[in-house]
A and B are shown apart, each in its own frame.
Chain A
Amino acid sequence: MSSQPSSAGSPPAAASTGSADTGASLAANIAAEVTAFAGEVGISDPVTVVGAQTHWDVGGVPLAGTREVRSPAGVWEHEPSEMTVRCGAGTTVAQLAAHLAQTGQMVPLDPADDAATVGGVLACGFSGHRRLRYGHVRDLVLQTRHVDATGKVVTAGGPTVKNVSGYDLARLLVGSLGTLGLLAEVILRTLPVPPAAQWLEGDGDPFVALDLLYRPSSILWNGSHAWILLEGDAADVAAETAKVEPLGFCVTNGGPPIPAAGRESMRPSDLRALAGRPGGWIAEVGIGLVHRHEPVPAAPVAPANAVLMDQLKQRLDPDNRLNPGRRAW
Chain B
Amino acid sequence: MISEDDAADAALLADLRGVLGDRARDNDFERGLYSRDGSIEGSPPAIVCLPESAAEVARIVRVCRRHSRPFLARGSGTGLAGGAVPVGRPVVIATAKMDRIIEVDIDNRVAWVEPGVLNLDLSRALTPQGFHFAPDPSSQQVCSIGGNIANNSGGPHCLAYGVTTAHIAALEVVLPSGDTAILGGVEAEPAGFDLRGLFVGSEGTMGIATKAAVRLTPNAPAVRTLLLDFDDVSEGSAAVSAIIAAGLVPSALEMMDKRAIEIVEAFAHAGYPTGAAAVLLVELDGLPGGVDAGVEIVREVALKHHVGHVRVAADDEERALLWKGRKNAFGAVARIKPDYYLHDTVVPRSKLTEVLEKVYRIADAYGLIAVNVFHAGDGNLHPILAFDRREPGVDERVKAAGRDIVAASIEAGGVLSGEHGIGLEKRDYMGMLFSAHDMYTQDVVRETFDPDGLANPLKIIPTGSRCSDSFHQHVPEGAWV
Q: Which A residues have a C-beta under 8 Å from some C-beta of B?
A: 79-83, 104, 125-126, 135-136, 138-139, 148, 152-156, 158-169, 171-172, 174-176, 180, 191-193, 195, 214-215, 232-236, 239-240, 263, 265-270, 284, 286-289, 298-302, 304-306, 308-309, 311-312, 315-316, 328-329
Contact of A159 with B191 in the complex, beta carbons under 8 Å: no
Q: In the docked arrangement, what's the CA distance between A125 and B189, Å?
A: 9
Q: Is the CB of B273 closer than 8 A to any CB of chain A? A: no
Interface segment among B11-19, B111-119, B193-201, B305-313: the answer is B193-201
Contacts of B289 in A (CB 8 A): 232-236, 239
Contact of A289 with B152 in the complex, beta carbons under 8 Å: no
Q: In the docked arrangement, what's the CA distance between A192 and B248, Å?
A: 7
Name the distance in Å between A232's Cβ and chain B's nearest Cβ.
5
Contact of A236 with B181 in the complex, beta carbons under 8 Å: no
Whose C-beta in chain A lies nearest to the C-beta of B449? A308
Give which listed residue, B198, B287, B461, contacts A236 with CB less than 8 A: B287
Contact of A312 with B293 in the complex, beta carbons under 8 Å: no
Q: In the docked arrangement, what's the CA distance between A67 and B186, Å?
A: 37
Contact of A302 with B415 in the complex, beta carbons under 8 Å: no
Contact of B201 with A148 in the complex, beta carbons under 8 Å: no
Q: In the docked arrangement, what's the CA distance between A311 and B179, Å?
A: 15
Contacts of B426 in A (CB 8 A): 165
**Are A304 and B244 also in contact (CB < 8 A) when A167-B442, A171-B197 are?**
no
Contacts of A136 in B (CB 8 A): 166
Contact of A315 with B447 in the complex, beta carbons under 8 Å: yes
Contact of B247 with A240 in the complex, beta carbons under 8 Å: no
Q: In the docked arrangement, what's the CA distance between A326 and B127, Å?
A: 45
Give which listed residue, A191, A193, A239, A305, contacts B192 with CB less than 8 A: A305
Contact of A161 with B379 in the complex, beta carbons under 8 Å: yes
Contact of B418 with A164 in the complex, beta carbons under 8 Å: yes
Contact of A233 with B422 in the complex, beta carbons under 8 Å: no
Whose C-beta in chain A lies nearest to the C-beta of B173? A304
Q: In the docked arrangement, what's the CA distance between A214 and B221, Å?
A: 8
What would 8 more interface pairs be, CB under 8 Å, given A158-B415, A166-B438, A263-B189?
A: A148-B441, A164-B422, A167-B198, A169-B441, A214-B287, A236-B289, A266-B188, A268-B186
Q: In the docked arrangement, what's the CA distance between A88 and B201, Å?
A: 27
**Are A172 and B447 also in contact (CB < 8 A) when A164-B421, A167-B460 are?**
no
Name the distance in Å between A270's Cβ and chain B's nearest Cβ.
8
Name the distance in Å between A67's Cβ and chain B's nearest Cβ.
23
- In B142-181, the 8 Å CB interface with A consists of 151-152, 154, 158-159, 162-163, 165-166, 175, 179-181
Give which listed residue, A155, A263, A328, contacts B438 with CB less than 8 A: A155
Whose C-beta in chain B lies nearest to the C-beta of A159? B413
Q: In the docked arrangement, what's the CA distance between A174 and B242, Å?
A: 32
Binary contact track B336-358/A, C-beta < 8 Å → 1, others 0: 00000000001111100000000
Contact of A172 with B197 in the complex, beta carbons under 8 Å: yes
Contacts of B8 in A (CB 8 A): none
Contacts of A265 in B (CB 8 A): 187-191
Q: In the docked arrangement, what's the CA distance between A90 and B108, Å?
A: 35
Name the distance in Å between B422's Cβ and chain A's nearest Cβ.
6
Q: In the docked arrangement, what's the CA distance between A165 and B218, Å?
A: 29
Whose C-beta in chain A lies nearest to the C-beta of B215? A135
Contacts of B183 in A (CB 8 A): 305
Give which listed residue, B107, B191, B245, B380, contacts A269 with CB less than 8 A: B107
- In B407-454, the 8 Å CB interface with A consists of 413-422, 426, 430, 433-435, 437-439, 441-442, 444-449
Whose C-beta in chain B lies nearest to the C-beta of A235? B289
Q: In the docked arrangement, what's the CA distance between A172 and B202, Å?
A: 13
Whose C-beta in chain A lies nearest to the C-beta of B189? A265
Contacts of A126 in B (CB 8 A): 189
Name the distance in Å between A219's Cβ and chain B's nearest Cβ.
13
Name the distance in Å between B465's Cβ and chain A's nearest Cβ.
19
Q: Is the CB of B109 closer than 8 A to any CB of chain A? A: yes
**Are A166 and B422 also in contact (CB < 8 A) when A158-B415, A233-B287 are?**
yes
Contact of A164 with B348 in the complex, beta carbons under 8 Å: no
Task: Please list the 6 inter-chain residue pairs (A to B) with the smallest Cβ-Cβ separation, ordered nearest first.
Answer: A171-B197, A329-B192, A235-B289, A233-B290, A158-B415, A236-B287
- In B318-366, the 8 Å CB interface with A consists of 346-350
Name the distance in Å between B85's Cβ and chain A's nearest Cβ.
17
Contact of A232 with B194 in the complex, beta carbons under 8 Å: no
Give which listed residue, A175, A214, A288, contacts B194 with CB less than 8 A: A175
Q: In the docked arrangement, what's the CA distance between A313 and B416, Å?
A: 28
Q: In the docked arrangement, what's the CA distance between A135 and B163, Å?
A: 12
Q: Is the CB of B249 closer than 8 A to any CB of chain A? A: yes
Give which listed residue, A159, A167, A266, contacts B187 with CB less than 8 A: A266
Whose C-beta in chain B lies nearest to the C-beta of A132? B109
Name the distance in Å between A271's Cβ and chain B's nearest Cβ.
10
Whose C-beta in chain B lies nearest to the C-beta of A82? B348
**Are A165 and B152 also in contact (CB < 8 A) when A160-B414, A215-B218, A309-B192 are?**
no
Q: Is the CB of B478 closer than 8 A to any CB of chain A? A: no
Contact of B438 with A302 in the complex, beta carbons under 8 Å: no
Give which listed residue, B162, B197, B438, B461, contacts A168 with CB less than 8 A: B197
Contacts of A289 in B (CB 8 A): 188-189
Name the distance in Å between B103's Cβ and chain A's nearest Cβ.
12
Contact of A160 with B415 in the complex, beta carbons under 8 Å: yes
Give which listed residue, B189, B197, B378, contacts A162 with CB less than 8 A: B378
- In B282-296, the 8 Å CB interface with A consists of 286-290, 293
**Are A167 and B446 also in contact (CB < 8 A) when A172-B194, A286-B109, A300-B191 are?**
yes
Contacts of B419 in A (CB 8 A): 162, 164
**Sample of 10 A–B contacts (CB below 8 Å):** A125-B194, A154-B437, A158-B415, A164-B154, A164-B417, A167-B201, A169-B445, A263-B189, A265-B187, A306-B192
Contacts of A284 in B (CB 8 A): 188
Whose C-beta in chain B lies nearest to the C-beta of A272? B107
Contact of B181 with A161 in the complex, beta carbons under 8 Å: no
Q: In the docked arrangement, what's the CA distance between A235 and B293, Å?
A: 10
Contacts of B244 in A (CB 8 A): 80-83
Q: Is the CB of B182 closer than 8 A to any CB of chain A? A: yes
Q: In the docked arrangement, what's the CA distance between A302 and B241, Å?
A: 46
Name which of A159, A164, A270, A299 has the most chain B CB atoms within 10 A of its CB.
Answer: A164
Q: In the docked arrangement, what's the CA distance between A138 and B245, Å?
A: 23
Contacts of A174 in B (CB 8 A): 194, 197
Contacts of B422 in A (CB 8 A): 164-166
Contact of B154 with A162 in the complex, beta carbons under 8 Å: yes
Give which listed residue, A235, A300, A304, contacts B179 with CB less than 8 A: A304
Q: Is the CB of B125 closer than 8 A to any CB of chain A? A: no
**Are A158 and B346 also in contact (CB < 8 A) when A164-B418, A171-B194 are?**
yes
